[in-house]
Structure 1
Amino acid sequence: TFTYSLNTKMAASKKKRMEEDMEDENDKNEEDIDDSEEDYMDSDGEEEEEAIMNEEVQVDFEARVPEDSDFHGIKNLLKQVFLKSHVNTSELTDVIISQNYIGSVVKQTIMSDDEDDDDEEDDNTVMAVTTVINITERQDLSCVKQLKALLEEKCQECAKDQKEKWFKVLHDQDKQIGFLINERFINLPPNLAVPIFESLVKEMEKARQKKMKYDFNYYLMLCKSLKMTTDAGTQQDVFFINSEEEIFRDASELNFSYSVADEKAAVGKGGWSSEEDMDSFRTVLLIPAEKLDNIIQRIKDELAAT
């Protein structure tokens, strides 16, 4: 397990505006000094509110191994991806929990008093899950067969020119394919991705040392994405809900997107100012496994630059 702390400071721009207003106030005529006590109290109240708004808040997230009690939380995150697709998310969740030596679930660290211990379990929400499943070795599972069938169907509909390549990769017994799952609540920051992926890489290395099947040729990803629709009805570039997945896309050997708008996906809610102009998609990526370390480093570099 590991803990990640996120520090945020609220309403910085509002504070700046208030300071500018105070400078303007100092330039006013001295007759303004005779403002009423009521006005003073109002101003004092605003300053107190501003002090609260600008208070630095630390939020701690804890990554743990998946366990049985996480079943419903993990399944709900998977359903965000698959929506109404015919993929058995219950079976997929069972696989994730059964191989708990690989991957992590993320929860908010809760510091509670003894009297609140009874409520802690209710607040112990799974906020993210990151793991990898070997779909070559687990090809006989219903959920894996359904996943492959889904991708082949959508590729036929949306990227016919790639169909032959996708079919060959998905059914090549000499190629080990890892289904890389990277799901989290939409309001969680991409900063969480770095320590989680670094931990995943270490866990896979330990598994390989034990002769377990985690030496992959490719990683397969299914990402939540959006496209903006223009006035002319044409669609623009893909926007990834998990922003770091754009870097995975850039490193991919194959990729295509398919619409899930008819499945009423509300994945963009709260994240865009003009949600009505955004159509929901899923973007499928095939990434050469040897690129993973460079991808993680690029994510770190991008985050450091922001």
Structure 2
Amino acid sequence: MSKRKAIEKHENEDVEMESHEEVDDDSGSDGEEDIINVDFEFFDPKEDDFHAVKNLLGQHFASDALLFALSELADLVVSQANVGTTIKVNGADSDPFSLLTTLNMNQHLYHHHNSAASGAASGSSSTPKQSEVMTQIRDYVFTKSRQNEKMNMKLKELLGASSKLQVGLILSERFINMPAETAPPMWKMMLDEVNWAIEEGLPFNFDYFLMLSPTYHEVAPKNDMDDDDSAPKPNRKKTKMAEPTVFFMHPEDEILEQFAEHTHDYKFTTPPSAAESMSSFDDFGIAPGRRMMLIHKSKIPEVVQLMANMSQE
């Protein structure tokens, strides 16, 4: 079944994308374009989505994905029954093309066990244990934010063992050809689910939300570079280069940034693998990166409303 809140909010209205494909001249269509309407359905993550979710998480962390126990993270996502949304195009049993969810970092760092993670009924006798992958993510954001003293201090305060506050780690990823119009309803669903979970006494009463948003900046394409290394290079005086303009991969993150209490751009730790290098963004004049954003919970409803307003324009 499609998600309950999608039916309540959107009254069974599907999100559609028109995909244009050119037809060969010899097909008899005189070069006209076929329009393919694709209906997107919203679903809760489920166990069968594990491998597809893991792939999306690998895309989310890019070359640094090797630093994290992604199998454990994917398991946390698909076992969390109360909060999280996927988008599929071929029914409930197909692979998701998009994912948006939030995980309680403090809960998984210091009070983690399966029943709490999934929001299932109490009664499990499993012994609480610290989540390996959430520990890795915590240490990662501590390291990456070192150059931003205020943000680093705030993160250590929020994610310390003695913290009384809760941080929701937002995981937002989708295939590159997914339309941006699918994002606002997903955010509305997540906000509704968090509020419902709080009403049920589940550990989703977050004080802050942490995002690692995909970004990029323009660089000289490799194909435009001089391939003749033996050619003499003209002498140039060293000049201080201006910082490149950073753009978001996901347009909705531009709205989120406006309400962030702290932001920080950082580079990946791990260089791309040989396979990734063959199809590197650099070949197209794009250098990927990430922008860490810390947003107070009071700002999220306004952000979601702005997303909805912009999607209707």
Structure-1-length-normalised TM-score:
0.75
Deviation at 1:7, TM superposition (A): 3.9
1:219 and 2:209 aligned: yes
Q: Which amino acid aligns with 1:103?
A: G
1:6 and 2:16 aligned: yes
Partner of 2:171: 181
Aligned residue pairs, count: 258
Q: Secondary structure at the residue paired with 1:237? A: coil
Deviation at 1:264, TM superposition (A): 2.3
Cα distance per residue 1:17-56 (max 9 Å; x no partner): xxxxxxxxxxxxxxxxxxxxxxxxx99x6872344x0x43
Cα distance per residue 1:145-185 (max 9 Å; x no partner): 110100111112x4345322332222262111111111111
Measured in 2, the distance between the counterparts of 1:98 and 1:9 equals: 33
Checking the alignment, whether the CA contact within 8 Å between 2:185 and 2:308 is kept in structure 1 is no
Q: Which has the larger radius of gyration?
A: 1
Measured in 2, the distance between the counterparts of 1:56 and 1:280 equals: 32
Checking the alignment, whether the CA contact within 8 Å between 2:50 and 2:74 is kept in structure 1 is yes
Between 1:220-229 and 1:258-267, the stretch displaced more is 258-267
Cα distance per residue 1:232-268 (max 9 Å; x no partner): 754323211111111111110011111128532869x
- The partner residue of 1:65 within 44, 57, 72 is 44
Partner of 2:29: 48
Judging changes above 3 Å, is the alpha-carbon distance between structure 1 residues 261 and 225 closer, same or farther for their aligned structure 2 residues? farther
Q: Which amino acid aligns with 1:226?
A: Y
Measured in 2, the distance between the counterparts of 1:187 and 1:304 equals: 20
Judging changes above 3 Å, is the alpha-carbon distance between structure 1 residues 137 and 261 closer, same or farther for their aligned structure 2 residues? closer
Q: Secondary structure at the residue paired with 1:263? A: coil
Q: Secondary structure at the residue paired with 2:195? A: helix
Q: Secondary structure at the residue paired with 1:48? A: coil
User: Any gaps of 5 or more consecutive residues in structure 1?
Assistant: 15-41, 111-119
Checking the alignment, whether the CA contact within 8 Å between 1:5 and 1:58 is kept in structure 2 is no
Partner of 1:196: 186
Partner of 1:88: 69
Q: Secondary structure at the residue paired with 1:281? A: strand
Judging changes above 3 Å, is the alpha-carbon distance between structure 1 residues 188 and 9 closer, same or farther for their aligned structure 2 residues? closer
Larger helix percent: 1
Judging changes above 3 Å, is the alpha-carbon distance between structure 1 residues 232 and 49 closer, same or farther for their aligned structure 2 residues? farther
What percentage of aligned pairs have identical amino acids? 23
Partner of 2:224: none
Measured in 1, the distance between the counterparts of 2:148 and 2:217 equals: 17
1:259 and 2:249 aligned: no
Q: Which amino acid aligns with 1:286?
A: L
Measured in 2, the distance between the counterparts of 1:295 and 1:47 equals: 48
Checking the alignment, whether the CA contact within 8 Å between 1:261 and 1:280 is kept in structure 2 is no
Measured in 1, the distance between the counterparts of 2:270 and 2:68 equals: 17
Q: Secondary structure at the residue paired with 1:136? A: helix
Cα distance per residue 1:185-231 (max 9 Å; x no partner): 11101111111111111211211111111111101111111122479
Matches of residues 119-198 of structure 1 in structure 2 within 5 Å?
Answer: 124-139=94-109, 140-156=130-146, 158-160=147-149, 162-171=151-160, 173-198=163-188
Measured in 2, the distance between the counterparts of 1:252 and 1:134 equals: 19
Judging changes above 3 Å, is the alpha-carbon distance between structure 1 residues 78 and 108 closer, same or farther for their aligned structure 2 residues? same
User: Any gaps of 5 or more consecutive residues in structure 2?
Assistant: 7-12, 110-129, 221-238
Q: Which amino acid aligns with 2:293?
A: L
Checking the alignment, whether the CA contact within 8 Å between 1:152 and 1:167 is kept in structure 2 is yes
